[in-house]
């Protein structure tokens, strides 16, 4: 699936918009999907949008993205950010441009959220701008891959 971006979401992000809105906002994950699908479409890209509460499933999806020759990956690793060598290894292995996204500014939160394993393999990191960060990550992938906006027909 060339011209496809994988947007992967880690544990508990299925709760987005339903709990802790003061931290994570009121947009649901379905709203985020709509946002990224619309932005990716501007570049002629389709989106595979998924969420998992399981580390290994995220690893498998990163490998799948490479097997399908995806353009790149947008990843909010959520609670696996500071623990998952396995997800980092998958990012290194597949060599697809990967943008790490966090809805909140992880550096302004508890210190245990600061040190991301994923950032060591990501080409770019966006945090603290809410769910808009996902759309910015699509822009980032376009910048990194030299993709241009398609003219409206
Ligand atoms: O800011 C982010 O996007 C985070 O990746 C969110 C993670 C947190 O562990 C990271 O440090 C920063 C938590 C995701 C939990 O998602 C929820 C969403 C709504 C309500 C409760 C949890």
Q: Which atom of ligand 1 is nearest to the CA of 79?
A: 9
| Catalytic, out of 6, 24, 80, 134 | 24
Would the pLDDT of 153 be above 70? no
Q: Which atom of ligand 1 is nearest to the CA of 13?
A: 16
Q: Tell me the pLDDT band of 152, cut-offs 50, 70 and 90.
A: low
How many secondary structure helices (H) and strands (E) does the chain include?
Answer: 5, 5
Question: How does pLDDT run across 50-77, given as a tens digit for each residue?
Answer: 999 999 999 999 999 999 999 999 999 9
How far is Cα 127 from Cα 111, in angstroms, rounded to an integer? 15
Strand ranges, E, within the chain: 4-9, 46-51, 72-76, 98-102, 124-127
pLDDT value of residue 151: 81
Instruction: Give the total residue count for the chain.
Output: 153
Is 102 known to be catalytic?
Answer: yes
């Amino acid at each position: 699936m060339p011209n496809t971006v994988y947007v992967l979401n880690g544990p508990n992000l299925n709760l987005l918009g339903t709990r802790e809105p003061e931290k994570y906002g009121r947009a649901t994950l379905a709203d985020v999907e709509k946002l990224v699908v619309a932005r990716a479409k501007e570049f002629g890209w389709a989106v595979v949008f998924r969420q998992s509460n399981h580390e290994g499933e995220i690893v498998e999806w990163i490998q799948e993205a490479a097997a399908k020759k995806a353009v790149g990956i947008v990843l909010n690793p959520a609670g696996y950010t500071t623990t998952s060598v396995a997800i980092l290894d998958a990012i290194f292995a597949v060599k697809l441009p990967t943008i790490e996204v966090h809805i909140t500014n992880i550096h302004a939160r508890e210190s245990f959220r600061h040190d991301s394993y994923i950032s060591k393999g990501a080409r770019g990191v966006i945090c603290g701008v809410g769910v808009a960060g996902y759309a910015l990550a699509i822009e980032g992938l376009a910048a990194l891959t030299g993709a241009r906006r398609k003219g409206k027909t």
